[in-house]
Structure 1
Amino acid sequence: MAHFPLNHPLRPLYRTLAGLTGTYILIFGCVSLTKTVGETLFARESNWALGIRTNLAFAIVSVIWGLIVLVANLIGGNVGHYTNLAGAVVFMVTGIYMVAFMQTPANFLNFSVSTAILSLVFGLVLLLAGMYDKTGSPERQRTEQAFKTTSAPRTAPRR
């Protein structure tokens, strides 16, 4: 199982970066909604908002995910930790999917190359935040620190 450090000293910085990412996604979603309102949900027109191509479906999804990421990081604790990890997976998988299907009818969110790259960058920021913003009690932190420092070093097996 993966080990995420508890109570990392830079946890507020990572949570701030994730919150700013959620804020940008939310603002992008709101601007996109104003530009695409009245169109079909999965339109493939040339609508751009904040330098990113969009459609009504992508605008709605962006507002929802922006709110989720922003609120989770405002709440803090392990809610933000797990939300950031889940958001990282969603943004990276979506970015890779859209790169693979950009020039096909499966590009239902109207992604462009810049949108896919930004989605991957957001996924990496949320992954970084999710890896280092786990919280725990001071007792649990001391227990884990003691385990890390007293564990016997592993040696390579002899041949």
Structure 2
Amino acid sequence: MAHYPLNHHLRQTYRFFAGLAGLYLTLFGVIGLGTTWGDEFFHRGSDWVLGLRTNPAASWLYTVLGVLLLLAVLLGGNLYHHVALVLGWGLCGLGVLVMAFIQTDANVLNVSMANVIVTIVLGLVTLTAGLYGKVGSRDAARAEVDAAHHPR
């Protein structure tokens, strides 16, 4: 079973960076929707937003992911911890998956290598934030520290 530190002293800092990642994803998606409005859903044009290529499908996907991450960051607690872990791994996986299809007709999200890099970096930021976002009672945190420093 994985060990996630309880009440890490930098969890608010990591949460802030996860919020920035969610804000970027949301802005990219919303601006992309405005830019590609009226295009086919899987359009393969040359629309660029915030340094990344996009189409309506990618814009909707990143908007939903960004809003989900922002909601989790705002709600906080262990819900945020779990959502950030899942979204972090999901963004990293999405980045690797779309990289396999960049130069093919299966590039339905109209991505470039810049999209892949940004998606993986945002995924790693979100994943790291989730790793240190677990919250527990003071007694549980104290017991965890005691167990780590005084093994039986």
TM-score range, shorter chain: over 0.9
* Partner residue in 1 for 2:59: 59
Residue 12 (str. 1) matches residue 12 (str. 2): yes
SS of residue matched to 1:25:
helix
* Partner residue in 2 for 1:37: 37
* Partner residue in 2 for 1:93: 93
Which residues of 2 match residues 141-156 of structure 1 at below 5 A? 141-152=141-152
* Partner residue in 1 for 2:2: 2
Q: CA deviation at 1:150?
A: 1.8
Segments of 4+ moved more than 3 angstroms: none
Structure 2 stretches of 5 or more lacking a match? none
One-letter code of the match for 1:39?
D
SS of residue matched to 1:151:
coil
Q: CA deviation at 1:108?
A: 1.1
* Partner residue in 1 for 2:124: 124
User: For the pair shown, which has the larger CA radius of gyration, 1 or 2?
Assistant: 1
Q: Distance in 1 between matches of 2:25 and 2:123?
A: 12
Q: Deviations over 1:9-49 (max 9, x none)?
A: 00110000000110111111110000111111111111111
Q: Distance in 2 between matches of 1:151 and 1:98?
A: 45
Q: CA deviation at 1:106?
A: 1.7
Q: CA deviation at 1:107?
A: 1.3
Q: CA deviation at 1:151?
A: 1.3
Q: Distance in 2 between matches of 1:119 and 1:90?
A: 10
* Partner residue in 2 for 1:140: 140
Q: CA deviation at 1:86?
A: 0.7
Root-mean-square deviation (CA, aligned residues, Å) is 0.8
Q: Distance in 1 between matches of 2:46 and 2:2?
A: 42
Q: CA deviation at 1:55?
A: 0.4
Q: Distance in 1 between matches of 2:139 and 2:124?
A: 30
Which residues of 2 match residues 76-115 of structure 1 at below 5 A? 76-115=76-115
Structure 1 stretches of 5 or more lacking a match? 153-159
Q: CA deviation at 1:60?
A: 0.6
What is the percent sequence identity of the aligned residues?
42
- Using the TM superposition, name which of 143-152 and 60-69 deviates more: 143-152
* Partner residue in 2 for 1:156: none
